[in-house]
């Protein structure tokens, strides 16, 4: 059986190398772009039009792909149908008119339901229309591998190059909503490398970086490691800003220090958690419209579960999870994960601390400063 599996993988790899070549032949009669869309990537089904998926699908449409969409939110689908984009009632209907499927969903259970549920992507019998399934959701590696194996057992309805069986890639993203909107996402891809290379033009229509991480499930594994580090980094930076304010240092000043020193990181550069320091980030709009605390808690749960599977201890991750779980329990689950600065560390809006400093100078008393700080943080 092992030798059969190896032969099957070798044959499929050869087929995909051949498939990748005709994919890059230009389509006839297209004038929307100087770079033609590969033939077998033209028809894309996009499922999951939330904060991230909405912008990703929009960027594909703007790049000239023929996109069909589905989401459980009828209002969101209406926004696409009003632009002339076909919106289908079920994932199965999306699959029937697509060469490639992209899913961007909140959880493993959502992904399983979209793929294997009633009227799901795999519900139309043993033969499927799409030759490639790309899941950009952040789920657990085990679910990703199980789905990939299930997809590979189906056959294609029509000949797609030399491929006989559909293929699945796990391709979660980094960069958040701003990068999804700007088309500057980073994709972390797991699965067959030849399929990744064939689909690369599709990824680069939604992002600016693609990183091949290895076999099936390695893309989501890389994403979990990334978000683990991101959560811990956000807590560390928020703690430092809050301490700095308590010591009389403005967040703007500390931001300049961080950017010029060893504490420099993506959060201090691009995602400052202190309201009033940086425009265009969730902290500037009451922590709305970003990566929610609920999703961060979910990703930390997945990271801890993956660590348990391989017998690895993650004590700092466990502490970070407890903090984000507390944020969710206290009603901040829909707020961006940077809200820990205000709602866990009781940090101040930038400008408040300046007022405190000025009043401290007038009063000349440390006790007065303490009272003002306590009043400002309530």
Give the CA dihedral 298, 302, 303, 308, nearest 10 degrees: 140
Cβ neighbour number for residue 135 with a 10 Å cutoff: 30
Mean pLDDT, residues 81-89: 96
* Degrees, nearest 5: CA angle 108-63-133: 30
Is the pLDDT at 249 greater than 60? The verdict is yes
3-state SS, residue 292: strand
Same domain, 303 and 236: yes
**How does residue 80 score in pLDDT terms, banded at 50, 70 and 90?**
very high
> Residue 63's domain spans which residues?
39-215
**How does residue 124 score in pLDDT terms, banded at 50, 70 and 90?**
confident
**How does residue 290 score in pLDDT terms, banded at 50, 70 and 90?**
confident
Q: Tell me which of 175 and 54 has the higher pLDDT.
A: 54
Please answer whether residues 111 and 133 qualify as being in contact, where contact means their C-beta atoms are separated by less than 8 angstroms: no
Same domain, 81 and 128: yes
Same domain, 322 and 176: no
Domain-located, residue 141: yes
Domain-located, residue 4: no
Domain-located, residue 114: yes
Find the CATH number of the domain harbouring 278: 1.10.1040.10
What is the per-residue pLDDT for 160?
Answer: 67
**How does residue 162 score in pLDDT terms, banded at 50, 70 and 90?**
low
Same domain, 279 and 130: no
Please tell me the total count of domains within the chain.
Answer: 2
Same domain, 198 and 242: no
Same domain, 310 and 340: yes
Domain-located, residue 28: no
Mean pLDDT, residues 65-85: 97
Identified catalytic residue from 160, 223, 298, 335:
223
Mean pLDDT, residues 38-45: 93
Same domain, 46 and 112: yes
Is 358 designated active site?
no
Mean pLDDT, residues 20-44: 57
Please answer whether residues 283 and 267 qualify as being in contact, where contact means their C-beta atoms are separated by less than 8 angstroms: no
DSSP notation for 246-264: HTT--HHHHHHHHHTSTT-
Same domain, 172 and 273: no
What is the per-residue pLDDT for 117?
Answer: 95
Find the CATH number of the domain harbouring 165: 3.40.50.720
Mean pLDDT, residues 44-52: 96
Domain-located, residue 353: no
List the structure tokens of 175: 């960069």
Same domain, 70 and 195: yes
Same domain, 211 and 274: no
Cα 154 to chain centroid distance, Å, stands at: 28
**How does residue 37 score in pLDDT terms, banded at 50, 70 and 90?**
confident
Same domain, 312 and 247: yes
Q: Tell me which of 181 and 17 has the higher pLDDT.
A: 181
Same domain, 201 and 60: yes
pLDDT (tens digit per residue) in 298-319: 999 999 999 999 999 999 999 9
């Amino acid at each position: 059986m092992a030798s059969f599996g190896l032969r099957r993988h070798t044959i499929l790899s050869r087929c995909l190398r051949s498939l990748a070549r005709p994919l890059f032949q230009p389509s006839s009669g297209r004038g929307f772009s100087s770079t033609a869309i590969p033939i077998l990537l033209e028809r894309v089904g996009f499922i999951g039009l939330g904060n991230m998926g909405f912008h990703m699908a929009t960027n594909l449409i703007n790049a000239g792909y023929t996109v069909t969409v589905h989401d459980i939110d009828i209002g969101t689908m209406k926004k696409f149908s009003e632009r002339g984009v076909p919106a289908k009632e079920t994932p199965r209907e999306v699959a029937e008119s697509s060469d490639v499927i992209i899913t961007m969903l909140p959880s493993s259970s959502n992904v399983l339901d979209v793929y294997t549920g009633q009227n799901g992507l795999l519900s139309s019998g043993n033969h499927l229309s799409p030759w490639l399934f790309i899941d950009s959701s952040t789920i657990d590696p085990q679910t990703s591998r199980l789905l990939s194996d299930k997809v590979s057992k189906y056959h294609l309805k029509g000949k797609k190059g030399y491929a006989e069986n559909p293929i699945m890639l796990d391709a979660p993203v980094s960069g958040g909503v701003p990068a999804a909107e700007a088309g500057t996402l980073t994709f972390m891809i797991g699965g067959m490398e030849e399929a990744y290379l064939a689909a690369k033009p599709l990824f680069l229509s939604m992002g600016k970086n693609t990183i091949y991480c290895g076999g099936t499930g390695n893309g989501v594994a890389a994403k979990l490691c990334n978000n683990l580090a991101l959560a811990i980094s956000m807590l560390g930076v928020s703690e430092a800003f809050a301490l700095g304010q308590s010591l009389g240092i403005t967040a703007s000043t500390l931001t300049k220090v961080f950017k010029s020193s060893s504490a420099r990181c993506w959060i201090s550069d691009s995602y400052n958690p202190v309201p009033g320091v940086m425009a265009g980030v969730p902290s500037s709009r009451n922590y709305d419209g970003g990566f929610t605390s609920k999703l961060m808690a979910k990703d930390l749960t997945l990271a801890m579960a993956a660590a348990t599977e391989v017998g690895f201890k993650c004590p700092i991750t466990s502490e970070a999870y407890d903090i984000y779980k507390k944020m969710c329990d206290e009603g901040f689950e829909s707020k961006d994960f940077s809200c820990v600065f205000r709602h866990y560390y009781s940090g101040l809006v930038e400008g408040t601390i300046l007022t405190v400093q000025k009043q401290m100078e007038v009063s000349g008393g440390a006790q007065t400063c303490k009272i003002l700080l306590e009043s400002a943080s309530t």
